[in-house]
Amino acid sequence: MAVYTDITDAELETFLAGYDLGAPISFKGIAEGVSNSNFLLETEAGRFILTVFEHRPGDLPFFLSLMQWLAARGYPSAPPIADRQGETLGAVRGKPAALVAFLPGLSVRRPTIAHCREAGEGLGWLHVSAEGFPDRRANDLGHGAWARLADALAGAAEALKPGLAAAIRGDIDLFARQWPSGLPEGVIHADFFPDNVFFRDGRFAGAIDFYFAAWDTQAYDIGVALNAWCFEADGSFNVTAARALVDGYQRRRPLSEAEKVALPILAHGAAMRFFLTRLADWGATPDGALVRPKDPLEYERKLAVHRAAGEGGLALFGDG
Amino acid sequence: MAVYTDITDAELETFLAGYDLGAPISFKGIAEGVSNSNFLLETEAGRFILTVFEHRPGDLPFFLSLMQWLAARGYPSAPPIADRQGETLGAVRGKPAALVAFLPGLSVRRPTIAHCREAGEGLGWLHVSAEGFPDRRANDLGHGAWARLADALAGAAEALKPGLAAAIRGDIDLFARQWPSGLPEGVIHADFFPDNVFFRDGRFAGAIDFYFAAWDTQAYDIGVALNAWCFEADGSFNVTAARALVDGYQRRRPLSEAEKVALPILAHGAAMRFFLTRLADWGATPDGALVRPKDPLEYERKLAVHRAAGEGGLALFGDG
């Protein structure tokens, strides 16, 4: 959670002058977003989230176009709001900024099996809704990036836990040998964590934060979600929750046999991705930011679960 | 700004079950409050602010009763919401918590003269509205507390700036000799800063955060506000802004001659109060809190302005 950028009332007025949304009624910094600052804004025209970006401004047009595309196709998400010139990408204090509609809903901290099923359906729905989206963005945190990142962080990994650098090296070697190819690709969310998914009355009500979205293997996105939704607080993997998530997903987009077989290694790789970036962030929190970096050990434990499951994988479909 | 307490969806549901407000629709931590955690909550019944208190739970019934009193008298403020048992003081995670109505409005970061006049009127209105409130709370951060606090912090003051401990001692001696007595007393806000005051379309729209409210000299509250609203970014005191604030105040509650004469030393004392507590907080930020402690030097500079103005005071009424 972070509010890096402080916005004065005068700056807010200058920003809003470019939009056809009437006068501001209330404006509050909210404790969401790891690499950006978010504000809940109410104007005479409704409620919005103003996001000010601290990083990766070059890809913003992709993200904003995707959000427009998804909303236009009826996917429950927060569409960006265009200014008087039709632009969705604005600026506050010289930083890129975007206004999106307020999306009601509650995220859950401790998902139940039912939540996992609903989240899976929300993810499958997202993949189907994104089909045909014409823009491309390579996944710069995808499979191709991990070997180099792991090398660069080998010392930090070893410092975190003796023996970890070698275990990571072993994982990277496994991925080099066995990473699946030829699976269906498309636009993935790539950060489909519980805090980015909203529910109402226990039903999936929408997804937010598309700022890691990229072109990649669709089933890899399920791997990300399995790690984020289906581990217990004690570190164990809840196969029932995982099956519910995959089952929910297939309500919207049935998986091929090849995708099902690949899910364990895809989830293993997804755990590597979040372990590596959390390890990198652990020692590198920006000055002046009110950030609590996420503990890399959480994903170190998830990696270990995937590693221990080995070739057989997580038995997602084995005996169910 | 702070969010000390993390609330899960399950904890929120448990809390809300005690209220007659329907199901939750959205829930977001907001970046407000220095000694408590605040959340914007929307339910089927409307919008609310949930505040979870980290300190001073003993005085909460006083604050909540005052907020009820003020709202019942038409003062624009956020009334606490009673649960099914009629109680306004609840608990979340074993910490005291209160739900208040959402008050729309924008606070200003850089008040204009017009804002100062409106804020003054809002403060005068508050004092008039609080008349007759039957409960009492001593101001534990008022005039009587400063000498002891200044002694305890003499080393920290001297470390902040050589010579400061002696200057503070001189101020305390001045207050001992000249602090006014016999001025009208009542319930004061005691923290009437721009971030606790809301505007709509440039007009005063309400006040929040009554968690320092106490029984004290009413004009002392104007002193707090003069320091908070009428200093320029370069550290100079804006007499025009100050006169506007006092003028606005008198629209609701005319000041006696004795009160007018006392304003400079009351503002000097109010600067001491915030200097001392900021100095105390500067080295003592709670573990795990996302807090940016306020710089005590801001109030050290304000103290110096009051000290330099000397016996003649700040010429609030001299040639106007």
**DSSP of B221-250:** HHHHHHHHHSB-TTS-B-HHHHHHHHHHHH
pLDDT for residue A127 is more than 50 = yes
CA distance B193 to chain A (A): 15
Q: Which pairs with CB-CB distance under 8 Å and at least 24 residues apart come from A92-96?
A: A92/A5, A92/A7, A92/A11, A92/A12, A92/A15, A92/A50, A92/A52, A93/A5, A93/A7, A93/A11, A93/A52, A95/A5, A95/A52, A95/A53, A95/A54, A95/A57, A96/A52, A96/A53, A96/A57, A96/A60
Domains belonging to chain B, first-starting first, are 9-101 (3.30.200.20), 113-312 (3.90.1200.10)
A139 vs A191: CA distance, rounded Å: 12
CA distance B21 to chain A (A): 15
State residue A320's pLDDT score: 40
Which residue of chain A has the CA closest to B27?
A106
User: What is the mean predicted confidence (pLDDT) over B27-54?
Assistant: 89
**ipTM given for this complex:** 0.77
State residue A146's pLDDT score: 97
Interchain CB distance below 8 Å, B29 and A31: yes
State residue B8's pLDDT score: 83
Query: In this structure, what are the phi and psi dihedrals at residue A92, rounded to the nearest 5 degrees?
Result: -135, 125
Read off the pLDDT band of B310 (50, 70, 90). Answer: confident
State residue A87's pLDDT score: 94
Q: Nearest Cβ partner of B8 from A9, A27, A109?
A: A109
B245, B237 Cβ separation under 8 angstroms = no
Place of tokens 């070698």: A166
Q: Is A233 on the interface with B (CB under 8 A)?
A: no
Interchain CB distance below 8 Å, B30 and A30: yes
**Total-model pTM:** 0.82
Q: What is the pLDDT of residues B61-111, one digit of tens each?
A: 999 999 999 999 999 999 999 999 999 999 998 899 999 999 999 999 889
For an interface test with A, the pick among B13, B106, B110 (most A C-beta atoms closer than 10 Å) comes out as B106
Q: What is the pLDDT of residues B112-169, one digit of tens each?
A: 999 999 999 999 999 999 999 999 999 999 999 999 999 999 999 999 999 999 999 9
State residue B284's pLDDT score: 65
State residue A312's pLDDT score: 60
- Which residues in chain B are contacts of A201 at CB distance < 8 A? 23
Q: Using the 8-state DSSP alphabet, how is residue B288 labeled? A: T
State residue A131's pLDDT score: 97
pLDDT for residue B289 is more than 80 = no
pLDDT for residue B199 is more than 90 = yes
Nearest Cα residue to A78 out of A213, A245, A203, A198:
A198
CA distance A105 to chain B (A): 5
CA distance B295 to chain A (A): 14
Q: Nearest Cβ partner of A1 from B3, B32, B105?
A: B3
Interchain CB distance below 8 Å, A104 and B24: no
Which residue of chain A has the CA closest to B112?
A10
Residue A291 buriedness (CB in 10 A; 0-12 / 13-18 / 19+): middle
Residues 3-42 of B with CB under 8 A from A: 3, 6, 8-10, 12, 23-32, 40, 42
What value does the mean pLDDT of chain A take? 91
Which residue of chain B has the CA closest to A24?
B106
**CB count in 10 Å sphere of residue A218:** 25
Q: Nearest Cβ partner of A290 from B104, B110, B290?
A: B290
How long, in residues, is chain A?
320
- Which residues in chain A are contacts of B8 at CB distance < 8 A? 108-110
State residue B320's pLDDT score: 40
Distance of alpha carbon B162 from the chain centroid: 30
CA atoms within 13 A on the CB side of B200: 13
Interchain CB distance below 8 Å, A25 and B109: no
Which residue of chain A has the CA closest to B37?
A31
Which residue of chain A has the CA closest to B104?
A26
pLDDT for residue A313 is more than 50 = yes
Read off the pLDDT band of A9 (50, 70, 90). Answer: confident
Interchain CB distance below 8 Å, A3 and B1: yes
pLDDT for residue A292 is more than 90 = no
Interchain CB distance below 8 Å, A9 and B108: yes
For an interface test with B, the pick among A106, A115, A209, A292 (most B C-beta atoms closer than 10 Å) comes out as A106
